[in-house]
Amino acid sequence: MKVIAFNGSARINGNTADLINVVFDELAKYGIETELFQLAGKEIKGCKACFGCFNNQDKRCVQNNDGLNECIAKMIEADGIILASPTYFGNVSSELKALIDRAGLVSKANGNLFKRKVGAGIAAVRRAGSIEVLHAINNFFFLSEMIIPCSSYWNIGYGREKGQALNDEEGVRTMRILGENMAWLMGKLNTV
Ligand SMILES: Cc1cc2nc3c(=O)[nH]c(=O)nc-3n(C[C@H](O)[C@H](O)[C@H](O)COP(=O)(O)O)c2cc1C
């Protein structure tokens, strides 16, 4: 089994990546393969609302030159998907929103490509607005017929500068429990 995680931060290997890696450590204990894909620097554009994906139905976005189709392919292949973002003005980063909108529409155009995959959201935050980030990510999972594992608190970690989220003891514990529950759920779903 495999989990692909997308780090929506514009900053490579910052707090969002650190939180993802805490979840990855737990998944690894259960033998689940993991891959971290950093959206920073990829310059993935927003959805053009051309609905070309509905005409083509080839599991791809018609905007073929910015790496988004590589992301969709990784999502199709994976059993679990983590979408993680820093909090930017009380919402997800524009990088992650571009992925959500385009992967989400391509999925819809092809009969819900991520149906019954396990999905978890993560938010890094300095102070406030992270609940809206999780809500935005969960909307993608809800509309994709995905299955969401929970933790003991909202899946958030506090920090401003790189590395600070790892000092948030409760945030790190929340990520560990999220990883455990994600692995448990994936194990159950794989048995049928
Ligand atoms: C453009 C921008 C907007 C931000 N908006 C918020 C915000 O609304 N609330 C907040 O608490 N922190 C905000 N922050 C701080 C980041 O969410 C925080 O530093 C986070 O840990 C960054 O994660 P990263 O290290 O993965 O990039 C903002 C940072 C940037 C660059």
Is pLDDT of 11 > 80?
A: yes
Q: Which domains does the chain have, with CATH numbers?
A: 2-189 (3.40.50.360)
Give per-residue pLDDT as tens, 45-93. 999 999 999 999 999 999 999 999 999 999 999 999 999 999 999 999 9
pTM for the full predicted model: 0.98
pLDDT value of residue 63: 97
Q: Judge whether 8 and 158 are in contact, CB under 8 Å.
A: no
Instruction: Determine the Cα–Cα distance for residues 160 and 3; give it in Å rounded to an integer.
Output: 27
Burial of 16 (0-12, 13-18, 19+ CB in 10 A): buried
List b or e across 83-106, with b for residues whose CB sees 16 or more CB atoms inside 10 angstroms.
bbbbbbeebbbbbbbbbbbbbbbb
Mutate to test the pocket of ligand 1, among 20, 22, 126 (most ligand atoms within 8 A of CB): 126
């909108």: which residue's tokens? 101
Q: How confident is the model at residue 123 (pLDDT cuts 50, 70, 90)?
A: very high
Give per-residue pLDDT as tens, 125-167. 999 999 999 999 999 999 999 999 999 999 999 999 999 999 9
CA of 158 to the centre of ligand 1 (A): 10
Torsion of CA 115, 57, 101, 42, to 10 degrees: 110
List b or e across 163-189, with b for residues whose CB sees 16 or more CB atoms inside 10 angstroms.
ebbbebeebbebbbbbbbbbbebbeee
Give per-residue pLDDT as tens, 24-50. 999 999 999 999 999 999 999 999 999
pLDDT value of residue 192: 59
Instruction: Determine the Cα–Cα distance for residues 101 and 156; give it in Å rounded to an integer.
Output: 22
Mutate to test the pocket of ligand 1, among 88, 154, 155 (most ligand atoms within 8 A of CB): 88
Cβ–Cβ contacts within 10 Å for residue 111, how many? 9
Q: From the alpha carbon of 11, which atom of ligand 1 is closest?
A: 27
Output DSSP code: residue 59. Answer: S
CA of 153 to the centre of ligand 1 (A): 20
